[in-house]
Structure formats: C-alpha cells, structure tokens
C-alpha cells in the first residue's frame, strides 16, 4: 500500500490532478483487474466451488490465475483488491457478523491491522487533500504542515476552505437559535506531543481511546474543529441541543462528526460529538445520502476506488 500510495502521489504531481482523483483512477484500475480476472476464470471458479479445495492449495490456485471460489463473494465488489483476498477471508472468519461489503471496505483501509502498527504514512499531496484519512492506521508525514491557515473565533486556525465552511455553519446554528464556537482547531505536532504525553501520564490505560498520538491527529490537518456550546467545555457539549443540531446539519456545510458512538470500533476513539472535520460538501452529502458512517468507509468506497459509472 505504501508503494501504491507513492506511485499515486507521484502521478498526482506529474499530472497536476488532485490526489483524490488519481487515487481513485489507479485503485479503480486494480479493482477492474480483479473483476476481469474473475470473468475469465469464471468456469474454473464454479468448478472449484463443488470441489471446495482445502486452504493449503490456495496459493497454487491463485498463481494459476483462477481465483479460488471462496473469494467469489468479495470479487463482485468494485472496491475489492486482489492482493487483499486472504486478509478479507481472515477478517471475515474473525467477524462472522459482518457482510462481505463490510469486510472488504474495512480491510481496504486496514481496519484488520492493530492500531499504530505499520501505519501508512500519507504523501504530502494526499495529506493535504480534503478527504485525507488520518487515523490510527494512516499517519501524516513528520514534516507535514497545512499549505495555508486562517483564523476563526479569534485564536484558532484552520485551512481557508474549513474557515469559510465553519463560519457558515456557525451562522446556520445561530439562525436556528444555537450558539457554538471553536475550542480547538489546528494543532502543531509539538502541541499534540505534549498533550498526548500529559494524558498518557495521567491516564495510561485509557489515553489512546481519546487522544491521538502526535502525527496521527486530525487536528494537525487544519480541517478539524472541536466545538463548544454555552457550557464552554467539550464534555458539556455532549447531549445538548447544539450537539444535536450539529449532528443533523454539519453535512450541509461540508463537515462530518468524525467520531460517533456507532463508529468507535472503526476509528478506535470514543464518541466525540464536538469534533467535526471538513471534507467538502459533496463528500459530506454523499456520506449522508448513502448512510456511510465513517470517513474510513467513504475513503474505501469513493477515494481509493471509484464506483462503476
């Protein structure tokens, strides 16, 4: 994946197209490759189904170009990646409650890997794109800085696009009778280093559930904002009408609530109704329309791979 990302980003620079589009184009080709292989090996795949070959013979089957039948339910998906077939199977075995769709998109964004283990380091162009996935498995480059930052609510800084969207969001909230403001936004890696070290010292067993390690924090992208309401505190925002309004309306301004009670297993963070991330209105609307509950799922289905037209 690291190699693929490097290639993709190199292509992005050369072609001067956005990283997201090039991502999708190249990864899309890989997905199409998987579908073509399935089509050409269809007869063999059916024959395999009746014979049910033992797991030990898989490598030979794959090398011969005929996908083993036990992968057939993954290969139908446009975001299936051939080189992850074994990982899909392993993850499915460990999570029998998940559908093939849920298995494949999760593994596509490394949900099967332990937090912080061999995390993929994003290339600069990718890290600066609006839908960059920064998580416990996707890290920012060590020397990363947003291209540009602008001030909001006095002391806080975000990317210019985030600022514009945030100010509209705040006005929208105001028009609906809610007062919200930023309590945290862009953070330097140095700041995050100190913050995480403090939490780790105070709460060694739980700090990772709510604080990102330096280089893994969305706040460093300049697209994440922590909101507060009249209480002035993050915890005081939980369960308020302001939080409810943000949950229902943030998408209309291009934001998502990044850490929800429903996606804790995916993100590895406890729910944070105050933490919103700017991903652009089109992406946020698409997530809402399709019931996509995490940036991870969106990236697997709409950035790393493009849906068939």
Quick one: 101 or 226, whose CB is closer to Zn ion?
A: 226
Whose CB is nearest to Zn ion? 275
Paired residues of 256 in beta bridges: 277
Give the nearer residue to Zn ion in terms of CB position, either 76 or 226.
226
276, 224 contact by CB (below 8 A): yes
Tell me whether residue 235 is exposed, middle or buried, using C-beta atoms within 10 angstroms of its C-beta: 0 to 12, 13 to 18, 19 or more: exposed
Q: Decide whether 224 or 304 has the Cβ nearer to Zn ion.
A: 224
Give the shortest CB-226-to-Zn ion separation in angstroms. 4
CB nearer to Zn ion: give 178 or 223: 223
The neighbour count for residue 51, using CB atoms within 10 Å, is 9
194-209 burial code (b ≥16 CB/10 A, e <16): ebbeebeeeeeeebbe
- The residue with tokens 């050409």 is 40
Quote the least distance from Cβ 219 to Zn ion, whole Å: 6
Nearer to Zn ion, 226 or 264 (CB): 226
Residue 294 CB, nearest approach to Zn ion (Å): 15
Residues 6+ apart with CB under 8 A from 125: 9, 12, 13, 19
Q: How far is the CB of 256 from Zn ion (least distance, A)?
A: 12
Cβ closest to Zn ion, residue 79 vs residue 237: 237
For Zn ion, which is the closer residue by CB, 66 or 134?
134
Alpha-carbon gap, residue 294 to 137, rounded angstroms: 14
CA distances from 191 to 72, 195, 209, 262 (A): 48, 6, 18, 29
Give the shortest CB-75-to-Zn ion separation in angstroms.
38
- Tell me how far, at minimum, the Cβ of 184 lies from Zn ion, in Å: 6
Closest approach of Cβ 216 to Zn ion, in Å? 12
Provide, rounded to whole angstroms, the least separation between the CB of residue 271 and Zn ion. Answer: 12
Contact 34, 82 (CB under 8 A): yes
Is the Cβ–Cβ distance between 106 and 91 less than 8 Å? Answer: yes
User: Is the CB of 69 or the CB of 135 nearer to Zn ion?
Assistant: 135
Query: Which residues are at the interface with Zn ion (CB under 5 A)?
Result: 226, 275
For tokens 């806080």, name the residue. Answer: 156
- Helix ranges restricted to H, the chain: 2-15, 19-40, 42-51, 58-63, 72-75, 85-94, 100-108, 124-128, 160-175, 189-202, 207-210, 241-249, 264-267, 281-289, 295-298
């Amino acid at each position: 994946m690291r190699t693929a990302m490097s290639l993709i980003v190199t292509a992005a620079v050369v072609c001067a197209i956005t990283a997201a589009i090039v991502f999708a184009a190249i990864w899309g080709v890989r997905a199409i490759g998987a579908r073509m292989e399935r089509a050409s090996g269809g007869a063999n795949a059916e024959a395999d189904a009746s014979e049910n070959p033992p797991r030990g013979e898989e490598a030979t089957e794959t090398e011969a170009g005929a996908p083993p039948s036990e992968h057939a339910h993954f290969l139908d998906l446009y975001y299936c990646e051939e080189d992850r077939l074994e990982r899909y199977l392993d993850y499915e075995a460990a999570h029998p409650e998940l559908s093939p769709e849920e298995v494949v998109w999760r593994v596509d964004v490394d949900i099967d890997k332990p937090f912080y283990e061999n995390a993929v380091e994003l290339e600069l162009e990718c890290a600066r794109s609006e839908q960059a996935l920064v998580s416990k498995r996707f890290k920012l480059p060590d020397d990363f800085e947003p291209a540009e930052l602008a001030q909001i609510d006095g002391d806080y800084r975000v990317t210019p696009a985030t600022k514009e969207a945030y100010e509209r969001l705040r006005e929208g909230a105001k028009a609906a009778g809610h007062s919200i403001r930023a309590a945290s936004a862009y953070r330097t890696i140095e700041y995050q280093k100190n913050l995480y070290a403090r939490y780790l010292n105070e709460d060694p067993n739980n700090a990772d559930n709510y604080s990102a390690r330096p280089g893994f924090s969305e706040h460093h992208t300049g697209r994440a904002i922590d909101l507060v309401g009249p209480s002035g505190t993050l915890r005081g925002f939980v369960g308020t009408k302001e939080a409810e309004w943000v949950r229902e309306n943030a998408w209309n301004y291009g934001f998502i609530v990044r850490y929800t009670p429903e996606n804790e297993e995916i993100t590895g963070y406890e729910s944070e109704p105050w933490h919103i991330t700017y991903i652009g209105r089109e992406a946020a609307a698409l997530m809402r329309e399709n019931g996509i509950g995490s940036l991870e799922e969106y990236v697997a289905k709409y950035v790393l791979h493009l849906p068939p037209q």
